[in-house]
Structure 1
Amino acid sequence: MAKKPRPKQVRVCLLSRHPVVLHEFQHLLSHFDFAVRAQRLDSADSTRLRRAPVYVLDAYGPRPETEVLIAGILDRFPKTRLLVLAEKFSESNAFPFLRLGAKGLLTYEQAREQLPRALQTVAAGGFWVPRTLLSRFVDSILSRLRTRPWVSGAAGLSRREREVLEALLGNLSNKEIAAKLNISERTAKFHVSNLLAKFSVQRRADLIMLCFQTQPPAS
């Protein structure tokens, strides 16, 4: 029997101002199937960075510099995935990172346990953001948007799937979706589960995040 091909290694670039941080997380990831490159930062200049599918950025230092670096990386490499590490996260520092396009947030303590799984999830197109923080961010998105977000790839959905997606992006529960579309709650749950699978995300909030981060800039 032919052997199954090994999964392709995820290429990761670690970015930090501190050699100790780089060494710790490079050593951690060396026990897993990642191709890791570590680079010490001495400024917020992203032009000297080489392309990588996934970046892990240590946000130690002034937040404006971190935001400039995130914006610069994602402007140069729009398809790259970016995960941010910090001592702690709150709405004041996490929300700007998410608005800029970060796909994952981990404290240093969480990263020591969760970084390998978080990288696999982010590299596959998902998000790794604490549930409570993500929920508050999604609420802030929906309360500010004048028009409902949409998502790239929706054109390939059936009419019913598009209806469920529109309701889901309105932050309706399965019960509310069922009542709005005159279907059973079980059917609504079935469609929601299918939509999450089609867009390679695990949570409803992830799908709203995906829509928000892929919106074209306002003209």
Structure 2
Amino acid sequence: MITTDAVGVLVVDDHAIVRRGLRAYLDSEPEMEMLGEAADGREAVARLKERQVTGDRMPEVVLMDLQMPRLDGVEATRQIARAHPEVKVVVLTSFGEAERVHAALTAGAAGYVLKDADPDEVATAIRAAATGEVHLDSAVARLLARRMAAPRTGLTSLTGREREILVLVAQGLCNREIAEQLVISERTARTHVSNLLGKLQLASRTQAALLAIREGLVAAPG
């Protein structure tokens, strides 16, 4: 039996069997009510707009898959967050890579749950989103925690001085010339070059120069 204060949910997934399974699950939860479904992000956005125009009850939560045709879950989440800020999106997907999680949360998702999670975790994420909280799948939370604790790599791992020296290396300056331009000792310049190569996991100054060009720090020669 559905209570009057049940959380309304819109299910978005391109697999009909998944939508059917989620409907059966939500129907078994007295505190939740499935208000509709969509086969991709574009249809989800359209359904919400239609409900807004007709004055039908808007769902409190959208359960959103990520990989779908026409409009993927990240972009659909971004559009929903912009057009309907009162509607919260919980991503329900098979993909747990940190990049996907970050993209979804940046787009405005209020939760991220993997499809192999316990059904109770899906319910927890829905309830959390409906009350304005953010819930992450326990496996996803551990992944993000490990990533935050890991040493930074890439250009973001460089200090301001090291980035400055990387540009000079890309311009073809030797250690002595770098030292003269920055008014530091040649030994200090050599140490900075060695440190930035190590942080960037590069084997040579040539590789460093190519990286600087690729990242737009310096213009390609000729």
TM-score per shorter chain, which class? 0.5 to 0.7
Number of residues paired by the alignment? 136
Aligned to 1:174: none
Structure 1 pair 98–62 and aligned structure 2 pair: CA distance change class (3 A) = farther
Aligned to 2:129: 122
Structure 1 pair 46–20 and aligned structure 2 pair: CA distance change class (3 A) = closer
Structure 1 pair 26–88 and aligned structure 2 pair: CA distance change class (3 A) = same
Take 1:91 and 1:42, find their aligned partners in 2: how far apart are those partners?
Answer: 23
Q: Is 1:48 aligned to 2:55, yes or no?
A: no
Aligned to 2:142: 132
Take 1:86 and 1:63, find their aligned partners in 2: how far apart are those partners?
Answer: 17
Q: Is 1:17 aligned to 2:17, yes or no?
A: no
Structure 1 pair 62–98 and aligned structure 2 pair: CA distance change class (3 A) = farther
> Following superposition, which runs of at least 4 residues in structure 1 exceed 6 angstroms of deviation?
137-140
Structure 1 pair 54–43 and aligned structure 2 pair: CA distance change class (3 A) = closer
Structure 1 pair 81–42 and aligned structure 2 pair: CA distance change class (3 A) = closer
Q: Which gives a bigger RCO, structure 1 or 2 (Cα 8 Å, sep 6+)? A: 1
Take 2:82 and 2:147, find their aligned partners in 1: how far apart are those partners?
Answer: 22
Residue 57 of structure 1 and its aligned partner are, at CA, apart by 0.6
Take 1:65 and 1:119, find their aligned partners in 2: how far apart are those partners?
Answer: 20
Take 1:15 and 1:139, find their aligned partners in 2: how far apart are those partners?
Answer: 33
Structure 1: give runs of 5+ residues left out of the alignment.
Answer: 1-5, 145-219
Take 1:128 and 1:14, find their aligned partners in 2: how far apart are those partners?
Answer: 17
Q: Which of 56, 67, 79 is the matching residue for 1:60?
A: 67
TM value normalised by structure 2: 0.53
Structure 1 pair 36–43 and aligned structure 2 pair: CA distance change class (3 A) = closer
Take 1:137 and 1:126, find their aligned partners in 2: how far apart are those partners?
Answer: 22
Residue 112 of structure 1 and its aligned partner are, at CA, apart by 2.9
SS at match of 1:56: strand
Structure 1 pair 42–90 and aligned structure 2 pair: CA distance change class (3 A) = closer
In structure 2, give the amino acid aligned to 1:25: L
Residue 75 of structure 1 and its aligned partner are, at CA, apart by 1.2
Aligned to 2:109: 102
Take 2:144 and 2:130, find their aligned partners in 1: how far apart are those partners?
Answer: 18
Residue 71 of structure 1 and its aligned partner are, at CA, apart by 1.1
In structure 1, give the amino acid aligned to 2:38: R
**Paired residues of 2:37 and 2:44 also in contact (CA < 8 A):** no
TM value normalised by structure 1: 0.54
In structure 2, give the amino acid aligned to 1:44: R
Q: Which of 71, 91, 96 is the matching residue for 2:98?
A: 91
**Paired residues of 2:12 and 2:40 also in contact (CA < 8 A):** no
Structure 1 pair 133–125 and aligned structure 2 pair: CA distance change class (3 A) = farther
Residue 46 of structure 1 and its aligned partner are, at CA, apart by 5.0
In structure 2, give the amino acid aligned to 1:38: G
Aligned to 1:36: 34
Take 1:95 and 1:119, find their aligned partners in 2: how far apart are those partners?
Answer: 19
Structure 1 pair 90–43 and aligned structure 2 pair: CA distance change class (3 A) = closer
**Paired residues of 1:19 and 1:40 also in contact (CA < 8 A):** no
Q: Residues 136-171 of structure 1: CA distance to partner in whole angstroms, max 9, x if unpaired?
A: 67779xxx8xxxxxxxxxxxxxxxxxxxxxxxxxxx
Structure 1 pair 91–43 and aligned structure 2 pair: CA distance change class (3 A) = closer
